Amino acid sequence: MGRKTRILLLIASLMLIVSYFVPVWKVLLDAPQYPEGLGLQIWLHTITGDNPNDLNKINNLNHYIGMKVIEPDAIAELKLMPYLIGLMILGGLLIAWRGGRRWLYLWVALFVLLGIAGMTDFYLWEYDYGHNLDMENAIIKVPGMNYQPPLLGSKKLLNFTAFSFPAVGGWMIIGAVLLGTAGACLEWKAARQPEVVEK
């Protein structure tokens, strides 16, 4: 493995460490009755409000439309994610130190698959919260309405507009994947170049 690839992989691994200390995703809600906005910060290990009491406010609002309570401690993925990212950090640092193209390719492939699985799981989680409503006990009932926030971008939900996008930790993870992929491309290109035979 070349020096540039090792440096890229080292930087990618260090970027992943940052994701433990900052949110990886944000979901913001904007409505006339909440001029300051409401929001959720999704971390590797928990979910918090964008402001101190936002999670409670959102859970109270969700109660009116029959949505389940968001309980971070009950979400299994939040217990698993810190370990998965930790393994990617450890793997990245070991490959940057010891080298090995095949290990690098495997690291990038696993990271891409982990990203796809993570986003799919997040979508399914949003779908469950937005569609599986307790209509029997809901105070506000709108036939045919679901309250699934967008996976990425914005969406109108009654008088709220929901926004969903990566936070700092999410951009660190995306950046790490891109750096690892760039390193793999460099190694792939180097492996395809014919060796120069001196005469």
pLDDT in tens, the chain (199 residues): 888 999 999 999 999 999 999 999 999 999 888 888 899 999 999 999 998 899 999 998 888 888 888 999 999 999 999 999 999 999 999 999 988 889 999 999 999 999 999 999 999 999 998 888 877 777 777 777 788 889 999 998 888 899 999 999 999 999 999 999 999 999 999 888 765 444 4
The confidence score (pLDDT) of residue 66 equals: 83
The confidence score (pLDDT) of residue 198 equals: 42
The confidence score (pLDDT) of residue 197 equals: 43
The confidence score (pLDDT) of residue 166 equals: 96
Query: How far is residue 41's CA from residue 6's CA, in Å, rounded to a whole number?
Result: 33
Query: How far is residue 58's CA from residue 29's CA, in Å, rounded to a whole number?
Result: 9
pTM equals 0.88
Domains parsed from the chain with CATH numbers: 3-191 (1.20.140)
The confidence score (pLDDT) of residue 36 equals: 85
Tokens of 117: 């699985």
Cα separations (Å) of 38 from 71, 74, 121, 146, 166?
17, 22, 23, 19, 16
Half-sphere exposure of 70 (CA within 13 A, CB side): 22
